[in-house]
Every structure is written in C-alpha cells, then in structure tokens.
A = this chain, B = another copy of it.
C-alpha cells in the first residue's frame, strides 16, 4: 500500500489498483504487523463463510485435515501440530466425534488414536473443494510476482 495523502491510499483489490479513503489518519497502515493481522482476519472470515453451510469452522477443518493425513493420531500430537493446547482440543474433537466424523481407537492405556469414520471420509470430499476454493481466492488476490515471496515470508514468521 502506498499512502498518497493524509487519508488516501492506493490499494490492490482483486488485481485492480484502486484508491481508498480510510476515513482518517491511519498510522496502523504503515505497520506490517497490523496488516498481517487484518489480512489474516479477512481470510479467516472468508473461510468461515465458505464453510458455514457444512456446519464447520476453520478450526474443525484443520483438525480433520490432519487426522485424514495421520490416521490414529493422538489428541496430544494433534495439539502440538496445530499449536493448540490439548485441553482446548477436547471440546473440538468431542463435537466432531458427536457428529460421527471421527473414530477413536485405543493406542495404549491412556491415548486414543483418532481416525476419520467412513462418514468423515465421505465428508472430506465436500470439505476439500471448499478449502481449495478459499486458497485459490486468496492466491488470486496476490499479484503473481509477489506470491513466492509472500509464502516464504509467512513461513519465516510461522
């Protein structure tokens, strides 16, 4: 973004360059950290909208994707991969299990391995297209020349 005058900025929206009046003096627009937050919030909101008709949210999808790729993964391992405390994972997993998308099978005396049920596996066929559409919409907004660097920068921060 380029700040042209006090309140006027040039922004890129859907590959179009447009001028936007942010309504006030906005020093936050000069801070990459704040831009990161707003970009993330905007994309999260986009993903949640796209998922709403499936009765899911972005957190559910992250869990399901990881379980799909790692059958019989334990809840603790899941939490570590997602950077979600295992205590906070309990209600999320329980809800997916209540919807019969997950199966639990004992790994040892204290852990259960989580896998997709057949319902869950079938459901992933509806979920993946939504994820792909969301990611595609995200990528499409970014100028082609900037995409590689964008991905590299995100990983560096992650």
- Please give, as numbers and ranges, the residues of chain B lying within 8 Å of A142 by CB-CB distance: 152-153, 156-157
Q: Please report which residues of chain A, range 33-60, place their CB below 8 angstroms from some CB of chain B when the two chains form the complex.
A: 33-44, 47, 58
A154 is contacted by which of B13, B32, B158 (Cβ under 8 Å)?
A: B32
A83 lies within 8 A of chain B by Cβ: yes
A65 is contacted by which of B27, B81, B153, B157 (Cβ under 8 Å)?
A: B27
- Please give, as numbers and ranges, the residues of chain B lying within 8 Å of A34 by CB-CB distance: 62
Q: With A40-B39, A150-B32, A156-B141 known to touch, is A70 a contact of B135 (CB < 8 Å)?
A: no
Instruction: State how many residues of chain A have any CB contact under 8 Å with chain B.
Output: 61
Flag A117-155 by CB within 8 Å of B: 1 or 0 each.
000000000000001001100110111011111111111
A23 lies within 8 A of chain B by Cβ: yes
A-B contacts, 11 of them at CB < 8 A, read: A1-B155, A11-B156, A24-B81, A25-B70, A27-B69, A36-B43, A37-B40, A39-B158, A41-B83, A142-B152, A143-B153
Q: Check if A42 sits within 8 Å of B135, measured CB to CB.
A: no
Q: Check if B42 sits within 8 Å of A157, measured CB to CB.
A: yes
Number of copies: 2
A66 is contacted by which of B24, B36, B40, B134 (Cβ under 8 Å)?
A: B24
A31 lies within 8 A of chain B by Cβ: yes
Q: With A23-B80, A135-B33, A152-B12 known to touch, is A157 a contact of B39 (CB < 8 Å)?
A: yes
